[in-house]
Chains A and B, each alone.
Chain A
Amino acid sequence: MIEIKDVHKSFATLEVLKGINLTVEKGEVLSVIGGSGSGKSTLLTCINGLEPINSGAILVDGTEVHAKSTDLNKLRRKIGIVFQQFNAFPHLTVLDNVTLAPRKVLGMGKKQAEEIAVQQLENVGLGDKINVYPGRLSGGQQQRMAIARALAMSPEYMLFDEVTSALDPQLVGEVLDTLKMLADDGMTMICVTHEMAFARDVSDRVAFFHQGVMAEIAPSDEFFRAPKHPETQKFLSNIRE
C-alpha cells in the first residue's frame, strides 16, 4: 500500500505539491491526469525517494520513504519506475540492460538473471532483440525494454510517467498493451498519462491534478461520466475537442 499524507514539495520558492493526500491499495491501478506542470512527475519521483519532500509523509508498505533511517536503495527494489524519456543504457545490450540491476543490486547469478530477463523481454515482445543495442530499437521497443528492466527486479509497485508521450502515434498502442497486460496481472500501478481511453478502461480510479493540488479523484467510470471539479470538466472537454 502506498500512503501519501499531506505532502508538500517545493523547488526553491515554487510550491509544486500543495498537500497531497492519496492512498493506493495493493492491486489497484491509478491513473493520474492533469495539465503540464501540475506536479504529476514530481509526485512519482517523491514516491521512490528520488526527490525529497518538505513536509508530510509517504509510506510504502508502512515504510516512510523520506525517513532518515530508510534504506532507499532497498526500498526502490520494490518500486519500479519508467520515465517518459526512454533512458535505455546505451552501452549495454538489451539483455544486459535488463540483467544489470538484478545482478548488481540483488546479487543474482548471471544464468538466473538472464533467464528472468529473457522471460520479461519475451513478455513485452522483445524476445528476438536480446542481443541488440538499444540504439537499434524504435522508441516503442526501448520503452518496452525499460518496462522489462523494471519488472526484472520483481517490484511490487510500478510507477509510469507518461511513458507513451515521447512516442510516435503508431507506437503508442504496443506500449499501452504492455501496461494493460501488467494491470491484468494484478500489478499495483500509478500511471501518469494523457491516454484517456487507457485511463478509463484500464484503471480503477483516476486522479486529476491541477496546480499542485489533487483536485479530484474518483472511480474511472464515474470520473469520466460525471467529473465534479470545474477544472476537471474543463480539462476533459479540452481533450475531447
Chain B
Amino acid sequence: MFSYTFQWNQALARLPQMLEGALVTMQVAIMSMVLGILIAIILTGFRLSGNKFLNAVAVTWIEIARNTPALFQIYMAHFGVASFGIHFSPFMSLLIGITFNNAGYLSENFRGALKAIPETQTRSARSLGMPPIMAFRTVVLPQMLRISFLPMTNQMVWAVLMTSLGVTVSMNADLYGVTQDLNALTFRTFELFAIAGVIFYIIVKVINLGARLIAARLFRY
C-alpha cells in the first residue's frame, strides 16, 4: 500500500502565502486581459484597415497566438528575446506571453463579432452626423463587446490558468510558483498542489459567476 501519510495541517499552514500568490496570479491575469483587449481591438483594426502590411502584422500575430503552445509563447518572451539581449523579469515575461496569447484569440473573436453587426448600423450612425470613430464607439463597439462577452470570459479563465506556466521562466511569485517553492521546502507535494488546485478552481468559478452578474447588468436588451 501507499506509505504516504497526509499532513494537511502542515500544508494548510502555508495557505496565507499561497493566497498571496493567488493575488499575483489575478494581477497577471487581469493586466494581461486589459492589455490583451486593447491590443486585440488594434489588431482587428489592422485586419480591417485594407493595408497589406498592417494586415500581415495582425495575421502573423493571430496565427502564432492561436496555433502554438502558450508555453512556447511565454518561453519566447523570456529566453527567446534574451538571445537578442532583451531581458525581461519573470513577471514581465509571463505577462507579455499571456497578453500575446489573449490578444490573438480575442482579435479573432472581435472580428467575428463585427461581422455579425450589420453594416447598416454604421450607415445609420453616420447618417445622423457621427464621425467614423464616434459611430464605432457608440454604436458598433458596445454590440461587439456583448457578442464577445462569453469568449472574453473564457479567455480570462485561460489567462488565470496560463499563469501556471510562469514556473518555466522562473516566476515564483504567483500561486503556482509559490506552491512549487513550498513543495521544495516541505515535500508536502500532494497536499500543497491539491490546495493550489482548489484555489484555481474557486477563482475560475468566481470569474464565471462575476461574468454572469456583469452580463445581466450590462446587457438588458
Q: A: which residues have CB within 8 A of B? A: 48, 50, 73-74, 76-77, 79-81, 83, 85, 87, 89-92, 100-101, 104-106, 133-135, 146, 149-150, 153
Do A77 and B138 touch (CB < 8 A)?
no
Pick from B120, B125, B139, B219: contact of A85, CB below 8 A: B120
Interface pair B128/A133, CB less than 8 Å apart: no
Q: Are B124 and A73 in contact (CB under 8 A)?
A: no
| Residue B217 at the chain A interface, CB threshold 8 Å | no
- Is B115 an interface residue when CB atoms closer than 8 A count as contact? no
Q: Do residues A77 and B127 form an inter-chain contact, with CB atoms below 8 A?
A: no
CA distance A89 to B143 in the complex (A): 9
What are the interface flags for B75-92 relative to A under an 8 Å C-beta threshold, 1 for contact and 0 otherwise? 000000000000000000
From B127, B130, B134, A48 is in contact (CB under 8 Å) with B127
Which A residues lie within 8 Å of B134 (CB)?
A: 104-105
Cβ contact within 8 Å between B126 and A76: yes
- Chain B's nearest CB lies how many Å from the CB of A116? 14
A90-B221, A91-B221, A133-B220 known; A50+B127 contact, CB < 8 A: yes
With a cutoff of 8 Å between Cβ atoms, the chain B residues found around residue A76 in the complex are 126-129
* B121 beta carbon closer than 8 Å to chain A: yes
Asked whether B142 lies within 8 Å of A153 as measured between CB atoms, the reply is: no
- Interface CB pairs A-B, < 8 A, 28: A48-B127, A50-B123, A76-B127, A77-B129, A83-B120, A83-B123, A85-B120, A87-B123, A87-B124, A89-B124, A90-B221, A91-B143, A91-B146, A91-B219, A91-B221, A100-B128, A101-B125, A101-B129, A104-B134, A105-B130, A106-B129, A133-B220, A133-B221, A134-B221, A135-B221, A146-B124, A150-B127, A150-B128
Report the bound CA distance from A153 to B139 in whole Å.
17
Q: Point out the residues of chain B lying under 8 angstroms from A92, CB to CB.
A: 221
Inside 8 A of A80's CB, which chain B residues have their CB? Answer: 127
- Number of B residues near A (Cβ < 8 Å) is 21
C-alpha gap A97/B143 in the complex (Å): 14
* A146 vs B125: C-alpha distance when bound (angstroms): 11
Question: Shortest CB–CB separation between residue A127 and chain B, in angstroms?
Answer: 20
> A186–B194 Cα gap in the complex (Å)?
77
Contacts of B16 in A (CB 8 A): none
B124 and A83 contacting across the interface, CB-CB below 8 Å: yes
Q: How far apart are the CA atoms of A73 and B128 in the complex, in Å?
A: 8
Could you tell me if A73 and B129 are in contact, using CB atoms closer than 8 angstroms? Answer: yes
Q: Is B131 in the interface zone, CB < 8 Å from A?
A: yes
Interface pair A100/B138, CB less than 8 Å apart: yes
CB distance from B73 to the nearest CB of A (A): 34
User: Distance (Å) between the CB of B25 and the closest chain A CB?
Assistant: 33
CB distance from A154 to the nearest CB of B (A): 11
A91, A135, A153: the one within 8 Å of B128 (CB): A153
Instruction: List 16 extra interface pairs beyond A50-B126, A87-B123, A89-B139, CB under 8 A.
Output: A73-B129, A73-B131, A76-B126, A76-B128, A77-B129, A79-B127, A81-B127, A85-B120, A90-B143, A91-B146, A104-B130, A105-B130, A133-B220, A133-B221, A135-B221, A153-B128
Assembled-state Cα–Cα distance A104/B128 (Å): 10
Contacts A91-B146, A91-B221, A133-B221 given; indicate if A101 touches B121 (C-beta within 8 A).
no
Kindly state the separation between the CA atoms of A73 and B129 in the bound complex, as whole angstroms: 4
Bound-state Cα–Cα, A83 to B126, Å = 13
A45 — nearest CB in chain B belongs to which residue? B123
Question: With the chains together, A80 CA to B220 CA distance in Å?
Answer: 28
Chain B residues contacting A100 (CB-CB under 8 Å) are: 128, 138-139
Q: Which residues of A contact B125 (CB under 8 A)?
A: 89, 101
Q: Is the CB of B143 within 8 A of A105?
A: no
**B131 nearest CB neighbor, chain A only:** A73
